[in-house]
Structure formats: C-alpha cells, structure tokens
Amino acid sequence: MEFNFENILKQLKDEYQNTKCPSTIKQKQETQVGDSGEDTKTDQKYLEQEFCELEIKVDQILSSISKDTLNYYKILSIISSILYEKSKVSLNMNALTTSKAYLEKSLNIIQDLSQDPQIRFIYLKVVNYLSYVISRMGDFERARTLLEEVIKEELKFDTLVYSTEDLFESSNSDQALAKAKLRKLKINNLQMLGWVYGKLGLNSLYAETIHKSLQEELDINDGDPVNWATRCYRLASLFIVQDKWINAVYHLRAAQTVLDPLETSLLPNTALFKAQADLARTWVQYGLHLFSRSRRSVMEKVWEDAWKLCRQNESSDANKFKFVGLEIHTSSVPVKEITNIEEARELFTYTHKWLKRARLFYNLRDYPLQYVNVIQELNELYRYLAFYEKDIDSQYEVHKKRLETLEMLSSLLREVRPTGYNTVSLEIVKEVIDVQLEMMHINLKRVFKSNENTNYSKEEIKKQIEIFNSVNDKMGNLCKDVNDSNPKSVSDVDGLDHLLSSNVLVNSDKDAELDLKREGKTKNEEAVNATELQIEETKSK
C-alpha cells in the first residue's frame, strides 16, 4: 500500500467524525422497544464488529508507514486518539470489554514511544482511561501498576498537549493552557491511583495519594473549592477510624477553611449547603469516635499500650499530611484521649455545636433518615457525657436529657413520618430501655449509698417507694407506648443550662430546629435557615 499522508489523514478524519455521530446502536435504542437482554447482546456484537473493522484499517495504515515517514508521530497520535474516543463511546454503552480492547490497541501502538513530546499526552490519557476501565472490571492490580508507572515519572512540560480535534488542525495550541491540562491530568491520575489503593485496602497509601492530589490542586489554584473540601473531609473520615486524631482535625479544619469564605454569597448554593452539613457530620463523627476510644481506654486498661503506640505513630507521620500554602489553625480542638469530666465537657460542647449545624440542613421533612441519624448521634453524645460525670445527680440529669431526646424523636416521627417511625421504632425502643435502665441504676445508687444512715423516716421510706413505683410504671408501659407524654421542644432537649452547677453549660437551641407543627407549616423559614448556614467521592472524569 503506497503511502499518501493526505489520503491517510482524510481516512482518519472521516473515522473520527463517525465517532462523534450518533451510533447505529443509539438510533436503534431510540426507535425500538424490545427484549433488553437480546438488545444488549446485539449491541455487544455490533461494537465488537465495529472494533474489528477499525483494527483492520489501523493495521493497514501502520503497515504502510515507518519511523522515517513524514509526520510519523502525528499519524500515531491521531490513530491512538481515535481509538481512545471509540473506547469512550463503548464505555458509555457499558461495553467494558470492547472499551478495554480499543484502549489496549491504542496503548500497544504508542507504548514504546511514550516519552516523545508528541506522544506523551495521549499516552497519559490512554493509561488513565484504561486504568479506570480495568478497575471497573475488577483488575485493580494491573490498574495500580499502570498508574504507579506514569505517576513516578517527572512531568515534562515540553509535552505537546492537544485534543483529538487539534490533530487535524495546523495551528498550535496555547501552551499556557497546555501546562494546566497536564497538571490536571496528573491530578486525575493521582485520584485514580488513590481510588485503586482504597479498593485494594491499602489505606496508608490511599491517604498519602489523596493528600498529594489535594496539594496539587491547591498549587494550581484552579478547581471547584466545594469538591476539594468534600474530598478533604472524606479523607479525614479515614483518619478518624484509624484513630489519627491530629491528621483528622487538620483535614477537617482545612475543609472548613476553604468552605467558610464561600458562605458570604447571598445566592443559594445547594452543593455548598450540603458540603457544610456533611462537614458538620464528619466533625460529629470525630467527637463520637474520640469519646468511644477514650471510654474503651478507661474500661480496658489492656488497650492502653496499643493507644500509646498509635499516638506515637501518629505524631511521627503527622508532618507528612500538611498543606503548603494553606493556613490552618487547630489549637481549639481536643486531639487527645479524654480522661476526666472537664475534657469530656469540652469535647461535648465542640461536637454539639457541629451537630446543631448539621440539623439546619438535614431537617425532618426533606431528609428524614439523616435527621433521625443526627438525633441518634445526639443521644450518643449524652451517653458519653454521662459516662464521665462523677456526680450521681448530674448523671441522672444527662440521662434524663437522653430520654427526652428519644421521646421527642419518637413523637415527631409518629405524627409527621409514620412510615419512618415504623422503620426505626425498634431502635428507639432499645435506646429508651437502655436509658431507663441507666436511670433505674442511678436511683438504686441513691437508695443504697453505703455511707447513708439506714434509719429512715416515714417520709423518706415513702419517697423511695415512689421512686421504685415510678421506674416500674415506666418500664411496664414501655412495650405499649414508648412515650405517653407530649414531646418536648427541641430547645429543651438540646439545652443543658438548667442542670446542676457541676454540669457542662451548653447554649439552648432556640433556632437550631423547629418543632413538629412549625416544621409542617413554614417551609420558607427553613430556606432562610439554610441560607444562613451557607457534595461522592466522585472521580474527576
């Protein structure tokens, strides 16, 4: 076959135009309704046939040229780009096998020339997309190998950056824009590699890679701040479950530092509101997890050595997870084991502030499931605070607040969301029983204090009998009706101001949540609350 550059270029351009046009498959899907299973098989056969035909054309072109041929590298780039575009079309039709075949064919053509400035960009794109496709097919190890190989190599800015359309034009692309595209492609490969590490269970490598991708985005200062903050607090969630409190707080504060300035806009931004609410819930997750680990440390002394080792390891690698160019303050957040009531109150107050903020967005009407979860998290906060209270009366008051919280939730759900109540009623009943048992245990302590005088007066005996009768009545009625009394207002449930002087002081939630009837009437008021507050870890493809 005699080589003619103009003829080859025309063939390739026609092939590319066919890629951009609606496929026969899509036209058929829009005009026919039939057996979806048979249609899928037919589509797969058509795509495989299309791939074989294009492969024959490509092989014919490659056999007619050599390295000495004029525009040799450009022809290879065009062929690889067309195969790359074809793979995207196949993936959109969920034809993973065919998409993989296109990409592997493209990679085989240019792999030996991957360092050439004219080839490098399309090579990086093909590796990125092939890694994604084979990850979807479950081959994470190969995806890891491909991505690690391209990431460890230094980014060369003499690389010619172009789109597939640019290859058919004679004009040169803007090199300033080209460098930005290269950096974004590198970030995308880092994010992809981090995702692969996560799928392989390599959490430490996942954390390092995602943190590095976040730093790269900060360096180029060209991206969606809400998306950046979302990935940042999701990384913090990993540090939380690893008990790496310093790193967790640092990344939560980083996300907060990026999101807070965006609240000044008066325009409603649902993505921003949701990101702020999810950040708040991650802070609550941090507080609850720190409470849980601290409580375990108190109850299980055997765990103490493991705790110390964990904290030593965290201190040694904390400096690896710092952002350059972003000023972050973390001094006010508890980052160590809770050992006494003063520290418990401090952590409770800080976590409770974020919980109220989460409830501004996750209300009962629009997000019933999330609302229930937030109230249950409030119940957990009270449980941990009561654990650290030394005074019996203070413990009783905190558990009483737990009970009121659960009763309020039960009443709201039964009146506003009866179907939701049926879903979570068993969980609520279990929690109420737990609170009642705790309160009964405290009452028994009051009755049988070892140092008390056993010479009771008639009035004291009568009082103790009334206490037992009260507890017995509540336990007896529980199976019939979780709460016979009217629900408390949410401000009463959240506030701890009225407790004994030894208790923690928390501002009441007068504007944190509407009660049942106000919530049913005033939808506009919640929009105002959401405005005052001002989104999956998604792959950047």
DSSP string, 451-493: TS-S---HHHHHHHHHHHHHHHHHHHHHTT-S--SPPPPHHHH
Q: Apex CA 221: angle with CA 245 and CA 239, to 5°?
A: 15
Residues above pLDDT 70, as percent of the chain? 67
Mean pLDDT of 112-123: 84
Residue 519 to residue 526: CA distance in whole angstroms: 8
Burial of 136 (0-12, 13-18, 19+ CB in 10 A): middle
241's CB contacts (< 8 A; 6+ apart) are 289
Both tokens of 417, joined, read 């969301």
- The residue ranking higher by pLDDT, 149 or 153, is 149
Number of neighbouring beta carbons within 10 Å of residue 447: 14
Least confident residue range of 25-34, 137-146, 282-291, 348-357 = 25-34
Can you give the pLDDT at residue 104?
93
The amino acid that residue 490 corresponds to is V
Both tokens of 119, joined, read 């080839």
Question: In angstroms, how far is CA 195 from the centroid of its own chain?
Answer: 12
Both tokens of 360, joined, read 């501004």
Mind listing the domains of the chain with CATH numbers? 1-26+41-201 (1.25.40)
In this predicted structure, the answer to whether residue 191 has a pLDDT above a threshold of 90 is: yes
Both tokens of 128, joined, read 């990125």
The answer to pTM > 0.95 is no
CA distances from 319 to 209, 219, 233, 255, 503 (A): 15, 18, 18, 18, 37
Taking only the tens place, the pLDDT of each residue in 460-473 is: 767 767 766 776 66
Q: Give the single-character DSSP code of 260.
A: G
In this predicted structure, the answer to whether residue 521 has a pLDDT above a threshold of 50 is: no
Question: In angstroms, how far is CA 287 from the centroid of its own chain?
Answer: 17
In this predicted structure, the answer to whether residue 147 has a pLDDT above a threshold of 90 is: yes
Q: At what angle do helices 120-136 and 175-199 cross, to 10 degrees?
A: 30
Q: Give the single-character DSSP code of 510.
A: T
Mean pLDDT of 334-349: 91
165's CB contacts (< 8 A; 6+ apart) are none
Residue 330 to residue 431: CA distance in whole angstroms: 34
Question: In angstroms, how far is CA 127 from the centroid of its own chain?
Answer: 26
Sign of CA dihedral 30, 34, 40, 43: negative
Residue 401 to residue 438: CA distance in whole angstroms: 12
* Coil, helix or strand at residue 22: coil
Can you give the pLDDT at residue 78?
82
In this predicted structure, the answer to whether residue 232 has a pLDDT above a threshold of 90 is: yes
